[in-house]
Amino acid sequence: MGTGNVFDFKVTSTTPTNARIPYEITARMKSDSTLDPSAVKVYLTTVNGASEEEILLDQYSNLTQTSVLVPEATVEKTIYKGTVPVGSNYEKNFRLRMWISEDTEFSDGSMNGKTFAITVNVYANAEIVSLPTDIMTPATSLSIGDAVTAIDGSKWHVLEESASGIDTVVLLSDYNLNSDGSYDIGCSDKTNSTNKCSTMVFDADGTNIYDEEDDNNIGYLIKHVYGPQVIDNLPGTTDVTIPDAYQLSKVNGIRFVPSYGTFYPNFGPDWLITTNYWTKTIQPSFSNVCWLISGTAGTLTFDYTYNSFAGVRPVITTPKTNLLAQ
């Protein structure tokens, strides 16, 4: 238990080298609870030292009933799903709070004497997978443009050179994210705006600033939706973000000036223009414009964030040991 009316708990596991373990955390309503579940707010965070990150904030009644087999008539809601990565010592710390919803009506006395209690359960189901036997080491030298495959099967290109002896490498995803923050090879074509792959306004409020704490901004998708997934799949991954125009221009071999004209033509190489996607570099001559890659045109260009759509193509810094040997 934590202090200050919170419940602290953690999920830990030491997995064998060939097992990935999906798990689910649930909140089971105790059968003697008498308070209407719609009156109860549930707030779950992950805890890392002194900092917390929100995972869930909703009324208990709005949460999804678990698909785990539980006793008949049991009300048990899913509050988190995660995965213990292959071959890792895993620990994730959580903090749970509950309180009466602010819009609950007390004046008629119907809430007097009512109680609500839950039990937190964790269910795990080991999924046997094949761990690659040939993993890259820090001794591997990687050059800009090298194509690499991660241990989770995702495809990337090296965005910044990483010499032999350097533990980590900066990578650009080969494809755009889906709207739920997941990624797959189906999001790797220039017509991604016509399928499930995420195409979105940079910021629904019409600002060109990349902001990870604004839920109308693509930065929020990267940090709070996609980020936890890739960190679970590729342990040790840091600096989960999107590219800036300076990085891409360095690959292309041009001198980038953020206030320049309207576009840089003949942009490449090919792996940079397989999709349409945003950068986080603003065009300083305008109040709500930032640079993006138009894969269909083969250009680095810019457009107004409130009426234009492009994909979200993540950039990560990850240990070389998360990559298959070339």
Model confidence pLDDT, tens digit, residues 211-234: 899 888 889 889 888 888 888 778
Residue 129 confidence (pLDDT) above 60 = no
Summarize pLDDT for 68-91 with one digit per residue, the tens: 888 888 999 999 998 887 666 788
Summarize pLDDT for 255-292 with one digit per residue, the tens: 898 888 778 888 989 999 988 888 999 888 876 788 88
Confidence band, pLDDT 50/70/90 cuts, at residue 171: very high
Residue 158: other Cβ atoms inside 10 A: 20
Task: Give me the residue spans of the domains in the chain.
Answer: 7-128, 147-322
Q: What is the CATH number of domain 7-128?
A: 2.60.120
Backbone angles phi, psi at 141, to 5 degrees: -95, 130
Distance CA(59)–CA(313), nearest Å, equals: 33
For residue 11, CA distances in Å to 52, 88, 203, 294 come to 16, 13, 35, 43
Residue 315 confidence (pLDDT) above 80 = yes
**Mean pLDDT, all residues of the chain:** 83
Confidence band, pLDDT 50/70/90 cuts, at residue 60: very high
Residue 196 has a pLDDT of: 53
Beta strands 19-29; 155-160: pairing state: unpaired
Residue 308 has a pLDDT of: 63
Least confident of 42-46, 59-63, 223-227: 223-227
